Structure 1
Amino acid sequence: MKLKIRKKTLVIVILGLYLLFKHALEANSTSIVNLIVSYSDEALTIMATGYVLYAMMSYKKVPKFAKSALASWGVLLLIGVVSTLFNMVQPLKSDVIDMIACSKFFAFYVATGIYWNNHFQQDILLEFNGIVRFIVTVLSLLVICNVLIYPLFPSSEFRLFINSQQLFFGHPSNLADSALFCFIILLINEDKIDKTNTLYMILASLLIVSTMRDKQISAMVFGWISYLYFYKFKFNSKFCLVVIGLVASIYIGYDSLSLYYGGNLDATARGAMTSTGFQIAKEKFPLGYGFASFGSGASIAPYSKLYYQYKISTIYGLTPLEPNFANDAFWPIVFGQFGWSGFIVVAFFFWSLLNQCFKIKENRLMFCGTLVLIAYLIIATVGTTSIFNDSFMLCAAILSYAFVYRYRCDNEN
């Protein structure tokens, strides 16, 4: 297990590790450090936005996929600003905070795309490979110790056959996200050094299973299906792969989907948020209510009047005193804050990601890893804020790297 890092990529590696362990740092730091870590994603978003503006003014090469994302980002912000000015639901401070939150993925994706395009590091993911192997090994040993020997770290609720493991990450979902990104890096590099990466992929998979988070488990299973179908058995039909993965993901996540969205939608927080989001999109066609108005973290600080207006403020998890589930899904934000116009923009962006992914032809493992990342972004929309969440900033950097890699392969051929 070799850990080899070049000096010129040291800053990139440190930033990647920081994003991988950000929530762990947040959960285990003192008040001052916790405050710095908590707002670091906003600071990174502002810095990434500044870099994009600088790159455009200095005529740096902007890859086509980044231009497409830049257009989606710009249109979404424009919709948000216009609808905010028309409705004025929240204070200006909340609107600005939410504008930054909705820009996190876009800013990092575009900025890293421009950076990779102008300063391409051929083996940067390979440099992460040894580090990821070490991380997966240590975390796996800690989980084994926590489950079988002595509980060094707290665990969450009991699911199926095990308490959901979270170690020092603060929540099982945070550990699952980090393990999934490790799994994808190992998958992409599986053919570059030796065949032992498969063993570490298994360890990462077991880590994900130990958290008992359906979304990440679905993405991991889809990763294995992609790996076996497209790389090991050399099948070429990408459409069949997507169908198989979709069926597997729905099967794994069926219980959670039934719990949160089955039966009477208004009986659960996520269901009520989703149905209300659709109602808002219909009533406020085509722009929604604007930033910080509904479904986002900024909509509960202060508590948005829309929760009272649409009579969902008494539902468990949506009350003014405990709005724990008000910021727990992606589509309520899209429909509630940006309306059908925002839905079209977001749908186009997801389509553009898939379109770029399907153009990766030279490296089957790169295609598999990229497809799993995009699949997870889409799967995560039912239970997280997806691309509006800081957990996916590392995902943005990996995707942009894969697409620049594809451009360079095309140009060489």
Structure 2
Amino acid sequence: MTRLNYEHNGSKKLDSKMSLLSYRVSDFILFNIFFLLAFQNAFQKLFGGAFAYIDEFSALLLCCWAVFSMHGHKTRYCMISRYLLLINSLLLLLGLCGNLLYKLQPAYQAIAIDAFACSKFIISLISSVVILQKRSVIELASSFAKFVLPLLLILYFLNQFIDLGLSSGERLGYSFLFGHPTNFAATVVCLISILLLDVKSNRLFIVCGLLVLCATGRFKAIGFAFIIAAAVFLYSNKKKIPLSFILLAGCGALFLVYDQISLYFFDSTTARSVLLSTSFDVANMHWPLGSGLATYGSNASADYYSSFYYSLGFPSVYGLGPMNHDYLVDSFWPAVIGQCGYIGLLLVAIIFVLLFSMSRKAVDHGVPLWASFAIPIYLLIASTSEASIFSSYSVLLAMTFAMLTADSNPFHVGESDE
């Protein structure tokens, strides 16, 4: 089968022209999963119903597929995969012990939902790495990205002159057909990340994607766009991330989002500021386990609003009440600190370290630097103001990250980096 090979300069190219007949049925199935995940929020807004569960269904399907593909084969996970599974298991155990000890969430269904939400990123990532080895779905995704990103940019400009209903939110950010610009931004990030495999050939398409990200009006998306623009135009063909890039990208992104950081974290009256500061109080009150799953800052804790929130005075804070809880579920680190305590905070920090280690090892085996690091960078940025690896789009990010790293040797089934 025709494959994408890594060139000496870190980009990918086709050995020869790909034809539809050169793909396997499984490649098209995997691409359809990727497509459904990428536009889940749009389908959910347009059609509702079962489309709201595409991410959960996809995570379970990928897991079952991976288990089936490993059946009868001698399989050894790389050490990073083992650590990710171990750390995630410890995080769940910590949260469940908090539930058993403090009994703050009486709805067992809520606990089960939150446990799966905390696991689906890791499950999807490891499963996708197993499934995507030696498959050509990345070529399909790349062609799709090159078609979609210019089209999205054209539609954005048309929307400025003709109201096509493609903007939403308080800032009227570009959201296409998605319910919220945040979910749309995550999809665009994945498409850009795939094109970073060959910056030289895809530069124009990448620029289209970066402009679309800026059009969403989401500061995390704009910060990510700035970082990738600096990487593509100032630090292309690098094998290691230079210190000067870290300083430039860090200061630039901080400058772009400072107003939002000040609003959310320096103003003690805002919902996110209250949520963050109170998370430390909750962790201290329920030391060392935390308050338990589905009890603080998670989607499940909002859907099954418990009396615990009343004791914290959240109903009197705009955005944290039982009827309007938009800001209650729009966080990551406060949920980790409150539900799983300081130990949970350490475990999640380790997960991020392991993700960046995955990227580093992928680069060592030929994956272009910025393609390898794009998804972990975005997850880290997103974690400042949304659910990040616990979100509905986390399965899409996991699958994309696996696409970008699955062909690097350390993650092949049957091999180990021990």
TM-score interval (norm. to shorter): 0.7 to 0.9
Deviation at 1:322, TM superposition (A): 0.9
Tell me which moved more, 289-298 or 5-14. Answer: 5-14
- Which residue does the alignment assign to 1:262? 266
* TM-score calculated relative to the size of structure 1: 0.88
Give the aligned partner of residue 35 of structure 2.
17
TM-score, normalised to structure 2, is 0.87
Aligned residue for 2:255? 251
**Which one of the candidate residues 278, 282, 285 is aligned to 1:283?**
285
1:152 aligns with 2:164: yes
The answer to whether the 8 A contact 2:240-2:369 is kept is no
Deviations 1:63-92 (A, max 9, x none): 332212111111111112111111222211
Deviations 1:189-234 (A, max 9, x none): 334xxx3x111111111111111111011112111222234325x4
- How many residues align? The count is 392
Question: Does the C-alpha gap of structure 1 residues 275 and 313 become closer, same or farther in structure 2, counting only changes over 3 Å?
Answer: same
| Residues 66, 114 of structure 1: 8 Å contact kept | no
Contact kept in structure 2, 1:293 and 1:304, CA below 8 Å? yes
Match of 2:124 among 89, 102, 108: 108
55-64 or 314-323: bigger deviation: 55-64
Query: What is the deviation of 1:356?
Result: 2.3
Letter in 2 for 1:27: K
Q: 1:44 aligns with which of 48, 52, 58?
A: 58
Aligned-pair CA distance for 1:51: 4.9
| Counterpart for residue 385 of structure 1 | 387
Higher relative contact order (CA 8 A, sep 6+): 2
Paired residue for 1:227?
232
Give secondary structure in 2 for the equivalent of 1:243: helix
Q: Following the alignment from structure 1 to structure 2, what is the Cα–Cα distance between the partners of residues 370 and 325?
A: 31
Match of 2:134 in 1: 120
Matched letter for residue 41 of structure 1: D
Q: Is the 8 A contact 1:61 1:114 kept in 2?
A: no
CA offset digits 1:336-383 (Å, max 9, x no partner): 111111111101110111122223445776321222211111111111
- For structure 1, list consecutive stretches of 5 or more residues without a partner in the other structure: none
Within-5 A mapping of 1:24-173: 24-29=42-47, 34-51=48-65, 59-90=74-105, 91-116=107-132, 119-121=133-135, 123-148=136-161, 150-156=162-168, 159=171, 163-173=172-182
Deviations 1:254-287 (A, max 9, x none): 11111111132xx111111111111111221111
Deviation at 1:247, TM superposition (A): 1.7
Q: What is the aligned-residue identity percentage?
A: 25
Letter in 2 for 1:28: L
Structure 2 counterpart of 1:180 = 189
Answer whether contact 1:155 1:166 (CA < 8 A) is retained. Answer: yes
Q: Which runs of structure 2 are paired with 1:284-303 in the superposition (5 Å)?
A: 284-303=286-305
SS in 2 for 1:295: coil
Asked if structure 1 preserves the Cα contact closer than 8 Å seen for 2:287 and 2:341, the reply is yes
Q: Deviations over 1:293-321 (max 9, x none)?
A: 01011102221222111122210001111
Distance 2:165 2:267 in 1: 36
5+ residue gaps, structure 2: 1-16
Q: Read off the aligned partner of 1:36 and give its amino acid letter.
A: A
